[in-house]
Amino acid sequence: MTPDSQDRPQCANSDALASSFSASYAGVVAFIAVATEGSFARAGDRLGIGRSAVSRSVQKLEAQLGTRLFLRTTRSTTLTREGELFYRNCHPGVERIVQALEDMRDLREGPPRGQLRISATVGFGRRIVAPLLSGFRERYPNIAVDLLLDDRTTDFSAERVDVAFRNGRMEDSQIIAKQLIPMPMLICASPTYRHTHGLPRQVEDLAAHNCINFRTASGRIFEWEFKVGGRIQKFLPSSTCTFNDEELVLQAVLDGQGIAQMAGYQISEHLRTGRLVACLAQYAPDDRGHYLCYLSRQQLPARIRVFIDFMTAGIRALDLQCATGLTPILPVPASKVSAAFTASVA
pLDDT for the residue numbered 152? 86
pLDDT for the residue numbered 8? 46
- The rounded distance, in Å, linking the Cα atoms of 79 and 316 is 63
CATH level 2 (architecture), domain 114-179+290-316: 3-Layer(aba) Sandwich (3.40)
pLDDT for the residue numbered 93? 80
CATH number for region 185-288+321-345: 3.40.190.290
Contacts of 102 (CB under 8 A, 6+ apart): none
Report whether pLDDT(319) > 90: no
pLDDT for the residue numbered 107? 61
Selection from 43-57, 87-101, 250-264, 322-336 with the highest mean pLDDT: 250-264
Q: What is the per-residue pLDDT across 201-224, written as a single tens digit (0 to 9) for each? A: 888 889 899 999 999 888 999 999
Q: What does pTM read for this prediction?
A: 0.64
The residues of the chain that CATH labels 3.40.190.290 are 185-288+321-345
Report whether pLDDT(278) > 90: yes
Report whether pLDDT(10) > 80: no
Average pLDDT, the chain: 82
- The rounded distance, in Å, linking the Cα atoms of 316 and 208 is 37
| pLDDT interval class at 240 (50, 70, 90) | confident
Q: What is the per-residue pLDDT across 121-154, written as a single tens digit (0 to 9) for each? A: 999 999 999 999 999 999 999 999 999 999 888 8
| pLDDT interval class at 323 (50, 70, 90) | low
Give the pLDDT mean for 232-251. Answer: 90
Give the pLDDT mean for 295-320. Answer: 87
Name which residue leads in pLDDT, 333 or 164: 164
Name which residue leads in pLDDT, 114 or 102: 114
pLDDT for the residue numbered 346? 35
The residues of the chain that CATH labels 1.10.10.10 are 3-109
The residues of the chain that CATH labels 3.40.190.10 are 114-179+290-316
Give the pLDDT mean for 238-265. Answer: 93
Provide, rounded to the nearest whole percent, the portion of the chain with pLDDT above 90.
40
Q: What angle do CA 264, 344, 191 make, to 5 degrees?
A: 40
Choose the CATH number for 3-109 among 1.10.10.10, 1.10.8.60, 3.40.250.10, 1.10.287.1080. 1.10.10.10
Report whether pLDDT(335) > 50: no
**Residues 32/35/41/46 CA torsion (nearest 10 deg):** -40
pLDDT for the residue numbered 23? 52
Report whether pLDDT(7) > 80: no
Contacts of 200 (CB under 8 A, 6+ apart): 187, 206, 208, 209, 259, 279, 280
- The rounded distance, in Å, linking the Cα atoms of 72 and 63 is 16
Name which residue leads in pLDDT, 159 or 344: 159
pLDDT for the residue numbered 159? 85
| pLDDT interval class at 19 (50, 70, 90) | low
**Residues 93/94/95/99 CA torsion (nearest 10 deg):** 100
